[in-house]
Amino acid sequence: MKRTGIRNLLSTGLVIGLAIALGACASSSDKTETGSTAAAKEETEKPVPPGSKLSKVETGMSQQQVRNAIGEPDDIRGYPTGKNWIPFYFGGDTYRMDWLYSGEGKVIFSNPNRWSRNMKVKEIHYDPDQP
């Protein structure tokens, strides 16, 4: 009688373990698809032409340096990133700010650590259709 109970317990544990292993495999294939989607997006991004205001901006510049180089933005949008919600994460890139320039594109700033508002240029997106 006791052997049947142990067998049922072992078989149930085996089924649960197999389900977890298969679930982990399925989620890793989804990450590969999003990675290829991100790579395709980067390939379609337009390079900044030499005559554009955004050509004066470089990665790592401060907000004041960008302001001095190309002037005030037409609009500013700030938002927390997903890293902001990770418990015990004290690194950077928890908050971003987009400076939008009509007819040019946007400059994306990111914070170097959780507590700093001394933001630096992370990305430059040229988009002549920017409203």
* pLDDT tens, position by position, 67-115: 999 999 999 999 999 999 999 998 999 999 999 999 999 999 999 988 8
Q: Identify the domain containing residue 73 by its residue range.
A: 46-126
Q: What is the pLDDT of residue 46?
A: 76
Q: Are 72 and 81 in contact (CB under 8 A)?
A: no
**Is there a domain that residue 80 lies in?**
yes
Task: Indicate the number of domains in the chain.
Answer: 2
Do both 40 and 56 map to the same domain?
no
Question: Do 40 and 95 share a domain, yes or no?
Answer: no
How many degrees, rounded to 5, is the angle at CA 34 between CA 101 and CA 38? 35
What's the rounded Cα separation, in Å, for the pair 112 and 70?
A: 23
Whether residue 62 is found in the same domain as residue 85: yes
The answer to whether position 131 is within a domain reads no
Q: pLDDT at position 37, please?
A: 52
| pLDDT score of 6 | 78
Q: Are residues 28 and 53 in the same domain?
A: no
| Same domain, yes or no: 51 and 37 | no
Main-chain phi, psi angles of 63, to 5 degrees: -65, -40
Q: What is the pLDDT of residue 31?
A: 44
Whether residue 61 is found in the same domain as residue 113: yes
Flag whether 31 is in a domain. yes
In this structure, are 79 and 120 located in the same domain?
Answer: yes
| 3-state SS assignment for residue 82 | helix
Confidence of residue 116 (pLDDT cuts 50, 70, 90): confident
Check residue 68 and give its pLDDT. Answer: 97
Residues 74/98, Cβ–Cβ less than 8 Å: no
Q: What digits encode the pLDDT tens for the residues 28-71? A: 444 444 555 555 455 556 788 888 899 999 999 999 999 999 99
Q: Looking at the structure, tell me whether residues 63 and 78 fall in a common domain.
A: yes
